[in-house]
């Protein structure tokens, strides 16, 4: 009788294990769609092909959708056309204000030297205070928008003290070259390119003003529905970051292929841009809340954003 009960218990354990395995399999998506920009870390991940190879073994297809900048990418995340994205600091706050149901998965190291306010090499503009009344080009709602706001306030100016000209990087680069804007607030590698090819001069970068992170984001539906897959992507980004930091020449070659920018431009960029993928912390969320409150205060965000509502439940 005891032996019979032991056999039943053994069979039950096998059945439970089988059910557990089936449940685990059900937690894996059949496909993930990742938004990327030609110049960000997801582009590096795409061109190396390691994520596809790993997920293919699990029966997961990976597709990629290119975007010109972070704000447009998070619009895609909001409407469900992509599952994952990587952007700078500001786009997530704007997306939350637009009711995007996103979560923060991880963040890069701070890299304040990779964005700056630049002017033509022969410009009479020497300081941020000299921007008063000038036309300043930038991508609205992007990370450099925060740098500009903070730099102006440090110089005793309001955002209304300048005339913002909202342009995507390619259009802003052309406007900068022909003198249609007096200054340009831009990030790497476009920053490195205009410094190298036009002799653009920095009047202020983000050092000492804003930390400037890259955030790895997901729709809440995807992150909560497939937590193991979301964590696997973060792990892959962390592994890729270690590789890129140790092999900057190889990384520069791949990113040169992705963007069409010469390899030396990328070498300059990577020298001041450490890659990484660390899980979110209360301190990082606090910095993001300060950012969101700043944009609400100056009227660029129509509502107050509670950044903490975008915490991933796996981190709670």
pLDDT in tens, 227-254: 999 999 999 999 999 999 999 999 999 9
Cβ pair 73, 141 in contact under 8 A: no
**Per-residue model confidence (pLDDT) at position 56:** 92
Q: Hey, what CATH topology would domain 112-205 get? A: D-Maltodextrin-Binding Protein; domain 2 (3.40.190)
Least confident span in 23-32, 135-144, 224-233, 285-294: 23-32
The per-type count for the chain, helices as H runs and strands as E runs, is 13, 11
Summarised one tens digit per residue, pLDDT across range 253-263 is 999 998 999 99
For domain 9-110+213-315, the CATH superfamily is: Periplasmic binding protein-like II (3.40.190.10)
Summarised one tens digit per residue, pLDDT across range 40-84 is 899 999 998 889 999 999 999 999 999 988 888 999 999 999 999
Of all residues in the chain, what percent carry a pLDDT higher than 70?
91
**Per-residue model confidence (pLDDT) at position 316:** 59
DSSP state letters, 275-298: ---EE--HHHHHHHHHHHHHHHHT
pLDDT interval class at 22 (50, 70, 90): very low
C-alpha 44/C-alpha 64 separation (Å) is: 12
Query: Which one is predicted more confidently, 17 or 143?
Result: 143
Summarised one tens digit per residue, pLDDT across range 163-207 is 999 999 999 999 999 999 999 999 999 999 999 999 999 999 999
CA-based angle 176:177:183, to the nearest 5?
25
pLDDT exceeds 90 at position 156: yes
**Per-residue model confidence (pLDDT) at position 14:** 37
Enumerate the domain spans of the chain: 9-110+213-315, 112-205
Mean pLDDT of 30-39: 93
- Helix (H) / strand (E) element for 186: namely strand 183-187
- Judge if the upstream peptide bond of residue 284 is cis by omega within 30 degrees of 0: no
Sign of CA dihedral 127, 132, 138, 140: positive
- Helix (H) / strand (E) element for 53: namely helix 50-56
Task: Locate 200 and state its tokens.
Answer: 């653009």
Query: Which one is predicted more confidently, 22 or 186?
Result: 186
The whole model's pTM is what?
Answer: 0.86
Average pLDDT, the chain: 90
**Angle of helix 282-297 relative to helix 143-154, nearest 10 degrees?**
70
pLDDT exceeds 50 at position 98: yes
């Amino acid at each position: 009788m005891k032996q019979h009960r032991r056999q039943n218990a053994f069979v039950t354990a096998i059945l439970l294990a089988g059910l557990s395995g089936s449940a685990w399999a059900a937690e894996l998506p059949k496909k993930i769609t990742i938004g990327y920009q030609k110049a960000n870390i997801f582009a590096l991940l795409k061109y190396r092909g390691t994520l596809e190879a790993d997920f293919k073994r699990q029966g997961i297809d990976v597709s990629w959708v290119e975007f010109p900048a972070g704000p447009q990418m998070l619009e895609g995340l909001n409407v469900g056309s992509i599952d994952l994205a990587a952007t700078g600091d500001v786009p997530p706050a704007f997306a939350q204000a637009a009711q995007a149901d996103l979560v923060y998965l991880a963040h890069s190291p701070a890299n304040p030297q990779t964005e700056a306010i630049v002017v033509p090499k022969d410009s009479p503009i020497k300081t941020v205070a000299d921007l008063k009344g000038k036309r300043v080009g930038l991508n609205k709602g992007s990370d450099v928008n925060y740098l500009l706001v903070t730099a102006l306030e440090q110089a005793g100016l309001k955002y209304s003290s300048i005339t913002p000209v909202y342009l995507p990087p390619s259009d802003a680069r052309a406007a900068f070259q022909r003198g249609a804007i007096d200054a340009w607030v831009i990030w790497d590698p476009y920053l490195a390119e205009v410094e190298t090819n036009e002799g653009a001069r920095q009047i202020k970068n983000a050092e000492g003003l804003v930390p400037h992170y890259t955030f790895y984001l997901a729709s809440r539906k995807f992150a909560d529905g497939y937590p193991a897959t979301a964590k696997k992507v973060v792990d892959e980004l962390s592994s890729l970051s270690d590789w890129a930091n140790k092999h900057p020449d190889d990384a520069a070659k791949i990113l040169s292929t992705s963007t069409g920018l010469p390899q030396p431009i990328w070498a300059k960029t990577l020298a001041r841009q450490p890659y990484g993928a660390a899980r979110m912390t209360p301190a990082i969320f606090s910095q993001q809340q300060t950012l969101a409150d700043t944009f609400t205060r100056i009227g660029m965000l129509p509502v107050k954003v509670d950044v903490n509502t975008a915490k991933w439940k796996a981190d709670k």
